Amino acid sequence: MKAKFDLRGMTCAACAANITRAVNALKGINSVEVRIIQSDMTVDFDENRLNEDEIITAVTRAGYGASLQDTVKARRRREQREALKKEMAQLRARTVISFALMIPLMYISMGPMADMPLPWWLDQTVQPTVNWIVQAVLSLAVCIVNGKFFVHGYGSLFRLMPNMDSLVALGCTASFGYSLYAALNGHVMHLYFDSAATILTLVTLGKFFEARTKRSTQGSVTDLLDLSPKTVTVMRNGGEVTVEAEELAVGDIISVRSGESLAADGVVVDGSGEVDVSAMTGESQPLFRAEGDEVFTASKVTSGAFRYRAEKVGEDTFLAKTAAMVEQAGASKPPIARLADKISGIFVPCVLLIALITAILWLIFGKNGENAVIHAVTVLVVSCPCALGLATPISVMVATGRAAKEGILFKSAEALENACKCDVVVFDKTGTLTTGEMTVDSVFTVSGSEDELVSVCASLEQASTHPIAAAILNYYKSSPAKSEDNVYIPGQGAAGFIDGDYCIAGNARMMKENGVEMAEFDLPSGVTPVYVARDDNMLGCICLRDRLRPTTKGAVADLQKMGVRVMMLTGDNESSAAVAAGELGIDYAASLLPDGKTGKIQELSAAGSRVMMVGDGINDAPALASADVGVAVGAGTDIAIDSAEAVLTGSDPSGVAALIDISKRTVKNIRMNLFWALFYNALCIPVAAGVLHFAGIDMSPALAAAAMSLSSVCVCTNALRLRK
């Protein structure tokens, strides 16, 4: 079984690795996934060999806190937000107090070097003892304010699972301890009490920035949920009452008027109005909704008033599912993160080792205790791996949240990373490039009346959700008779028994496969014919016409401008495909069966292309799954959405260019972050160790702390740029 836990006390990627290791050591664990930013853990375990309490104990023993997650999501989110708020307030207070103590300390220790005045009783040359004692007290005060670093740092060090707090704690202890030792032995000129204080202050400042970034990334997910109202007006016992949104049940009739937002997915039962769905789909045009129309949670009524019946509430609404998807994607790891993960796991022990070697080499070759301690401290402090742990997850969180606001949902970070590598985008035609709202162009009869032709066809089409079916049912107007054993054959059409006769409605392939002899039709160009046969006799055909979406041309041009090859794959006939593709100036393949689309995609892949497939229908699911990145467009079926890696909630194909663009920007952003976190650290370590000492270049522990905090701040600030 799977259980989710909230974690406490995690500070960096090394902590996550420690917890994972501790839990994995238990017998009966199948998998453990710890997420740093959300501070939670999902454990898949064998409930016959293990229970939740044992897992919590293992985490506690490793020096962290864990509790089973509350099943009520809303409450959990609120608690999470409150915890983060509290953490922020604490961090802010600690930062302010630390600075207040650190500034006088710096003045006392550095002032004389810059010829700044000190009262006589503090003057180092007159009162050396008072001077160093004041420094030590101020420094100790900063250590106490930031005592958490020592508790966590030494705690995990003694359990042989050092993390970044261990580095900070060791660094501060070494510089404080060394200074105390030197002062007590009368060497009052080279003290480093101020280093301990600066390290702690700057690292805390860095943590404060980090917490602020975390809060703003969580915002984008909760923003989505905040779009739905807290209270709603529902019909109960013949009257209108106001209830909490959580109390809504399926079947409730809810009334809304202009200015209000919807609290459930449902169908309008009376009244009408315009709704603004831009927050969900990015589509800016308000939609007119009247009786029988579908409406979705969180869309805002901009004019009019209506009542709708709730069909999906709570966690089942499209909005809640979207938020869950965004949250999941934001927390998943792109392949690019693997390297960072591997490195974080061994980083801290390596740094400890390097610091130790630095100290030893300085003692042997430098013959200088002070230099040995200070360079070791500088190494410890400069190489804290917190930026490394943040580099990818922060960017992924920001990017997925940002994309969701534009109606682009990534299901995983992998899709987010891969989208920009695609050099071919393959579109499905009907419903994707075209509106999918087909209209009947003309009807040809061969035998029997036009009425019979249309009514047989409408009966059969009840089995299908294809745009063709919708168009024909719409054309027939009254409700068609039921047919027996009514089935939909994707890529072909529909079939069933009417009054004992086997009837089929579909394309030429379907007629051929059923052995129906084709009649000669003089079809207009660019239409999609639906042939109808009864008992192997051709009744005639209904020709449908579809239009390109108004945004399609621009969308295709945008992609081509990006250097992406655009293609169209369709199950529709040659003539209608040629007209659409000609208008867009793209390559196409027509009359494909669902597996024909898959075949074409595999062909492209085999030729070395990275393929993105954009589609909507049931028959697109295999193609979506076989492409490198499958993108389902919003109006599509659940099956298509399930087999895709990304979803465009609006049905506008121009979302594809935006999707590739955000993917590009994110990958670039992650690379930059990794560069900051990795190379910058790697470059700083030798300098910190004193390799350039002989050239007169040295890094002080305080500068190292500043550099380290700067790298986390850079990483966070850089990731936040993706919000634009």
Q: What is the set of active-site residues?
A: 428
Give Rg (Cα) of the chain: 33
Q: Which is nearer to ligand ADP, 175 or 486 (CB)?
A: 486
Q: Which is nearer to ligand ADP, 14 or 568 (CB)?
A: 568
The site partner of 526 among Mg ion, ligand ADP, none (C-beta below 5 to 8 Å per kind) is none
CB 504 to ligand ADP: min, Å: 9
Using DSSP's 3-state secondary structure scheme, residue 265 falls into strand
Of 376 and 613, the one with the shorter C-beta distance to Mg ion is 613
Choice between 507 and 711, CB closer to ligand ADP: 507
Q: Taking the complex as a whole, how short is the minimal distance between the CB of residue 207 and Mg ion, in angstroms?
A: 51
Distance between CA 88 and CA 698 in Å, rounded? 34
CB nearer to Mg ion: pick between 431 and 480: 431
- Order of strands across the sheet that contains 629-633: 408-410, 646-648, 629-633, 611-615, 424-428, 565-569, 587-589
CB burial string 155-184: b at 16+ within 10 A, e below = bbbeeebbbbbbbbbbbbbbbbebbbebbe
Cα distance between residue 437 and residue 274, in whole Å:
20
Distance CA 334, CA 215 (A): 21
Helix (H, G, I), strand (E, B) or coil at 631: strand
Q: Where are the beta strands (DSSP E) in 386-463?
A: 408-410, 424-428, 439-445
Residue number with CB closer to ligand ADP (459 or 570)? 570
Reduced to 3 states (helix: H, G, I; strand: E, B; else coil), residue 469 is: helix
Inter-residue contact 4 to 69 (CB < 8 Å): yes
Instruction: In angstroms, give the least distance from the CB of 468 to ligand ADP.
Output: 4
CB of 531 to ligand ADP, least distance (A): 9
Q: How far is the CB of 85 from Mg ion (least distance, A)?
A: 47
> How far apart are CB 156 and ligand ADP at their closest, in Å?
57
Which residue reads 């270049």 in tokens? 697
CA distances in angstroms from 579 to 166, 427, 545, 614, listed in the order given: 68, 15, 11, 20
Least Cβ distance, residue 497 to ligand ADP (angstroms)? 17
The binding site for Mg ion (CB under 5 A) comprises 428, 430-431, 617
Residue 469 contact among ligand ADP, Mg ion, none, beta carbon within 5 to 8 Å by kind = ligand ADP
Residue 701 and residue 150: Cα distance in Å, rounded?
17
| Nearest residue to Mg ion, by Cβ distance, number only | 617
- Amino acid type, 194: D
Half-sphere exposure in the Cβ direction for 358 (13 Å, CA) = 26
* Residue 494 binds which entry of ligand ADP, Mg ion, none, CB below 5-8 Å type-dependent: ligand ADP
- Give the Cα separation of 241 and 223 in Å (integer): 27
C-alpha distances in angstroms, 560 versus 20, 565, 610, 659?
A: 45, 6, 15, 14
The neighbouring-strand residues paired with 305 are 257, 272
Q: Do the Cβ atoms of 453 and 459 come closer than 8 Å?
A: no
> Quick one: what does residue 468 bind among ligand ADP, Mg ion, none, with the CB cut-off 5 to 8 Å set by partner type?
ligand ADP
Binding site for ligand ADP (CB under 6 A): 428-430, 461, 464, 466, 468-469, 491-494, 505-507, 528, 530, 570-572, 617, 619
CB of 495 to Mg ion, least distance (A): 19
Is the Cβ of residue 430 or residue 673 nearer to ligand ADP in the bound state?
430
669 binds, among ligand ADP, Mg ion, none (CB under 5 to 8 A by kind): none
**For ligand ADP, which residue has the nearest CB?**
571
Of these partners, ligand ADP, Mg ion, none, which one is at the site of residue 98 (CB under 5 to 8 Å by kind)? none
Residue 29 or residue 530: which is nearer to ligand ADP going by CB?
Answer: 530
Angle between helices 164-184 and 147-158 in degrees, nearest 10? 110
- C-alpha distances out from residue 71 to 67, 68, 301, 408, Å: 12, 9, 32, 28
